[in-house]
Amino acid sequence: MDKIKSFLKYLEENNIKRAVLLNRENINYFLERYPPAYSLLTFEVESNRTILNVPKLEYKASQIYGGKNIEISIMEKIEDLIKEGDAFEDTLPLKYVKYIPKNYKIVSPKIMEMRSIKTDKEIEFIKMASNISKKSLEHGIDYLLNSEGEVKEIELAAEIEYSMKKKGSIKPAFDTIVISNKKTALPHGIPSKDIIKNIVLIDIGAVYEGYCSDTTRTILLKEDRNYREIYELVNGVKNEVEDHIKEGTPIRELDDMARELMGDYKKYFIHSLGHGVGVNVHEEPSISSKVEENLTLKKNMVITIEPGIYLKDFGVRIEDLYLVKKNGFKNLSS
């Protein structure tokens, strides 16, 4: 059953007549392609219709989204469509709350559940995004190592983003991270005009048809015993944990395992082990020891594993993207 039919069935089973979606990523999910700049998606249960509502200026360009499952319609006032709905996302902007009925329902948990398991088409899009980021990362590293002069963090970030764009990425999946030296101790540091030296952490993602990739590499630019020790530890943790990626593995077990493998350094691992990736770069499932005990990996989930250790003077993070399979995984970053 395709995702639109499945969602309409869910709405019917929960006595919902019309669901109204404004979240662009959710619209992307049901369209399975990058959506118009401004649109609203409605699901009408009684007539079994799914309608992409767009303003007049987007109508002509939006014909590419039409098909046997989706109609295209011009919307005059977004408030009128919201008034007709009885189910919404939990991200509905506050300015529209006054238009929703009293007995409305929230459909976000169901959509998040559906989004966590990828279709074959979605997997191909994520593979394309990952291939773009992989090649652009290789280009960036080559640019850094073979540059005749000094290279700034912001310069390398721009070079990588330009490469991703040329290779077909709609945009970066998130703000590109290129940080070096002591700034690598900041998990989400911001690139600056600082000269890259000693050690550099690069975290990038591409977007293909609205689907994201996410990869992190730490590169040692000088041989340093402390750098090497932590790098080998983090890389070893990632390699050990990935051997347990398969359908049925308890999610908490992966995060707990990573922390135990870090030994005395586990207190410097200050974020969860990973996350799902799809139309958002961070989505369900969270690969964390804080999730419910009964949550397990499922076939066709796409997740990251990204152990990191952040000390006073430097940090190391290594992140790969994985497709969960019945008896193992496929590394989409390699």
Contacts by residues 271-275 (CB-CB < 8 Å, ≥ 24 positions apart): 271/187, 271/306, 271/308, 273/241, 273/305, 273/306, 273/307, 274/303, 274/304, 274/305, 274/306, 274/319, 275/303, 275/304
Domain residues of the chain, as ranges? 3-115, 120-331
**Which pLDDT value is given to residue 334?**
85
pLDDT reading at 1 higher than 80: no
Both structure tokens of 312: 């006073």
**Which pLDDT value is given to residue 210?**
97
- The answer to whether the CB of 251 falls within 8 A of the CB of 287 is yes
pTM beyond 0.85: the answer is yes
β-strand 199-204 against 177-180: which pairing, if any? antiparallel
What's 120-331's CATH class? alpha beta
> Whose structure tokens read 């109508």?
59
* Digit-coded pLDDT (tens) for 274-332: 999 999 999 999 999 999 989 999 999 999 999 999 999 999 999 999 999 999 999 99
- The answer to whether the CB of 88 falls within 8 A of the CB of 111 is no
CA distance 41 to 70: 9
**Which pLDDT value is given to residue 37?**
87
**Which pLDDT value is given to residue 309?**
98
Domain 3-115 coded CATH 3.30.930.10: no
Averaged pLDDT of the chain: 96
* Residue of 23, 4, 5, 32 lying closest to 123 (CA atoms): 32
User: Lowest-confidence range among 27-36, 38-47, 61-70?
Assistant: 61-70
**pLDDT confidence bin for 191, thresholds 50/70/90:** very high
**Which pLDDT value is given to residue 185?**
98
**Which pLDDT value is given to residue 67?**
83
The one-character DSSP state at 64 is G
* Digit-coded pLDDT (tens) for 54-94: 999 999 999 999 887 899 999 999 999 999 999 999 999 99
Q: CA 32, 38, 42, 48 torsion: positive or negative? A: negative
- 3-state DSSP assignment of residue 4: helix
